Chains A and B, each alone.
Chain A
Amino acid sequence: MKLSREEVLHIALLARLGLTETEVDRFKEQLSNILENFEVLQQVDTTDVPPTAQSIPLQNVTKGDEVVDSLPPSQILANAPRREREYFRVKAVLE
């Protein structure tokens, strides 16, 4: 699986990951190499094999509908890069 430059840029866009020109070139080579090596998986016969998402026999874990203490807004907002009163401040979404 050789990735094209366009594919690398498309994946980066999906991941919302800015890349420098050098990174685009490097990742194109490295990811192509990794994905080529991973083609080995296609050799495995997985007919009728269900997928495993996790390894423990727990399903649909729910918790009781109980009121518990939560952290105060001041603590939640303490790490916010930008805030306004008791809100996270974000860039305009609609222009």
Chain B
Amino acid sequence: MTPQQLTIHEAHKLLKARQLSSVELTQACLERINQTEPRVHALVAVTEELALRQAQKADQLIAAGDSHPLTGIPVIIKDNMCTKGIATTCSSRMLQNFIPPYDATVVERLNACGAVTIGKANMDEFAMGSSTEHSAFFATHNPWELSRVPGGSSGGSAVAVAADETIYALGSDTGGSIRQPAGFCSVTGMKPTYGRVSRYGLVAFASSLDQIGPLTKDVADCAVVLNAIAGYDSRDSTSVPEQTPDYTQCLTTDLNGLAIGVPKEYFVQGMQTEVETAMRAAINKLEELGARVDWEVSLPHTGYALAAYYIIAPSEAMANLARYDGVKYGFSYTDTDSMWEALEKTRQLGFGDEVKRRIMLGTYALSAGYYDAYYLKAQKVRTLIRREFDQAFEKFDALITPTSPTVPFKIGEKVDDPLQMYLSDVCTLPINIAGLPAISIPAGFGDGLPIGMQIIGKPFGEETILKIAYAYEQATEWHKRKPKI
């Protein structure tokens, strides 16, 4: 096994035993990036100089016996998280030259652990999209089949992990943006409970839905990264002031006593047969491992989640993106004397198609005469969706669904049909609406293309879903398969 293929826990062991140095590990990842980037286009920036400097420092820390599980381990950060002195573009022309004067809390926390930042990952512009085709720079390709999308919006992060360009990555998830690409690329991806991880320094898309989380090569790594990034931060007023457990302590393989529900609404409408087959096999496996499974759970409002989400998220987005006025930072159209023309042209030329579409949608839903019928109605449906989950969690420890109803689709297939694109998040976005934690793990292949299983937990129930994910992973081999790239 080459160094870049290692997991965090494997690499940590070798670093600690001084059988591998962080500089060697970092160089292996950088070489791999050189090899694979021309085909997958996962990264908008490679921070080689910074990485080697951080790796040298990490090697000194390790030599001094002062190492954290993440010390000296290369990471790639989705390009909507602020990195001090390093461009943070959101894959948008609007922020193409934006250099943040501060680090996001998650970046600060990783740095405090001695992490090695090797690059910034491509994404759908402002995290709006499900395929990473809406990047203003270039589309990212799925390493399992280059003509297919990697999912999105954290497509660059997922591909970087799947193609072994990095040991792990951070993504953000507003409606499935970590889990759906994790499923499409056969890696592990978690969206923690809303409020569990600080959003300070994450460029805002939809503030009541956004959450940062890990993309990793296995479940144990997911727990290690969550340990580092979770916890209260006074700079994010929606960060929850609760103690975080040691998430690595819940990784056991015995599921006896756990009750798992399978909501039937997630197994209809447009689901591919190979996904359904893989999911049934995966759930049977959980039963073998000791879990009690109820296949007939019903969450009747599931079918309304898509509409509610695509009203709420664009409404919040239009408010958040009002800040891009070409005055304080970002792209600015200056070739006019009129303030209004400058403002309108700045936004016309700075934003891409999907971002404009969502600003329009959100503005409409919040405009006079339509607010009650759209935004307020969607918020009330949000209440019903959350209540339904709360009721289910009175009986079950976790719920299982596919991460996505299909395997990765072709590049170009849905890019001109927004509604079809939105449908690819149909299994993941209800979880953001309810603010719950969920993880996607590799659960099989259909015609050589990855299939992900989503495990949904109660609020702050990350330990339970990690445990189920870990037990399944240890009993299967899916996560060990690598794309031939």
B338 partner residues in chain A, CB cutoff 8 A: 91
* Chain A proximity of B84: nearest CB distance (Å): 10
Q: Which residue of B lies closest to A62 (CB)?
A: B237
Contacts known (A27-B356, A54-B238, A81-B329); A38 close to B380, Cβ less than 8 A = no
Cβ of B339 within 8 Å of any chain A Cβ, yes or no, is yes
How far apart are the CA atoms of A34 and B362 in the complex, in Å?
A: 12
How far apart are the CA atoms of A61 and B202 in the complex, in Å?
A: 19
Cβ of A44 within 8 Å of any chain B Cβ, yes or no, is yes
A80 partner residues in chain B, CB cutoff 8 A: 327-329
A81 partner residues in chain B, CB cutoff 8 A: 326-327, 329-332, 334
* Chain A proximity of B226: nearest CB distance (Å): 18
A46 partner residues in chain B, CB cutoff 8 A: 377, 380-381, 383-384
A67 partner residues in chain B, CB cutoff 8 A: none
By the criterion CB–CB under 8 Å, are B307 and A41 in contact? yes
* Chain B proximity of A69: nearest CB distance (Å): 11
Cβ of A82 within 8 Å of any chain B Cβ, yes or no, is yes
Near B by CB (< 8 A), chain A positions 60-76 give 61, 63, 71, 75-76
Contacts known (A16-B343, A37-B307, A58-B195); A50 close to B208, Cβ less than 8 A = no
Contact of B328 among A17, A41, A51, A88 (CB under 8 A): A88
B359 partner residues in chain A, CB cutoff 8 A: 15, 17
Cβ of B45 within 8 Å of any chain A Cβ, yes or no, is no
Near A by CB (< 8 A), chain B positions 90-143 give 97-99, 101-102
Near A by CB (< 8 A), chain B positions 375-421 give 376-384, 386, 418-419
* Chain B proximity of A57: nearest CB distance (Å): 9
Contact of A33 among B102, B343, B344, B419 (CB under 8 A): B419
Cβ of B55 within 8 Å of any chain A Cβ, yes or no, is no
By the criterion CB–CB under 8 Å, are A19 and B348 in contact? yes
Contacts known (A16-B344, A30-B418); A54 close to B334, Cβ less than 8 A = no
How far apart are the CA atoms of A40 and B304 in the complex, in Å?
A: 7
* Chain A proximity of B311: nearest CB distance (Å): 6
Instruction: Give the contact-size bracket for chain A.
Output: 35 or more
B348 partner residues in chain A, CB cutoff 8 A: 17-20
Instruction: Give the contact-size bracket for chain B.
Output: 35 or more
Interface string of A1-31 (1 = CB under 8 A from B): 0010000100110111111100100010011
How far apart are the CA atoms of A56 and B432 in the complex, in Å?
A: 12
How far apart are the CA atoms of A11 and B330 in the complex, in Å?
A: 23
Cβ of B168 within 8 Å of any chain A Cβ, yes or no, is no
Q: Which residue of B lies closest to A3 (CB)?
A: B364
By the criterion CB–CB under 8 Å, are B357 and A17 in contact? no
By the criterion CB–CB under 8 Å, are A49 and B380 in contact? yes
Cβ of B301 within 8 Å of any chain A Cβ, yes or no, is yes
By the criterion CB–CB under 8 Å, are B360 and A8 in contact? yes
Question: What are 17 A-B contacts with C-beta separation under 8 Å?
Answer: A15-B359, A15-B360, A16-B325, A16-B347, A17-B347, A18-B345, A19-B356, A27-B360, A34-B418, A38-B311, A40-B304, A41-B374, A51-B379, A53-B379, A55-B435, A58-B240, A79-B98
Residues of B within 8 A of A (CB): 97-99, 101-102, 194-195, 208, 234, 237-238, 240, 301, 303-304, 307-308, 310-311, 318, 322, 325-332, 334, 336-340, 342-345, 347-349, 351, 356-357, 359-361, 363-364, 367, 373-374, 376-384, 386, 418-419, 422, 433-436, 459
* Extra A-B contacts (20), CB below 8 Å, given A16-B322, A35-B364: A15-B322, A16-B344, A17-B348, A18-B347, A23-B356, A27-B356, A35-B361, A41-B307, A46-B380, A46-B383, A50-B383, A51-B382, A51-B383, A54-B435, A55-B459, A61-B238, A79-B97, A80-B327, A81-B326, A91-B342
Shortest beta-carbon contacts, A-B, top 8: A55-B435, A18-B348, A81-B332, A51-B379, A79-B329, A18-B344, A91-B339, A46-B380
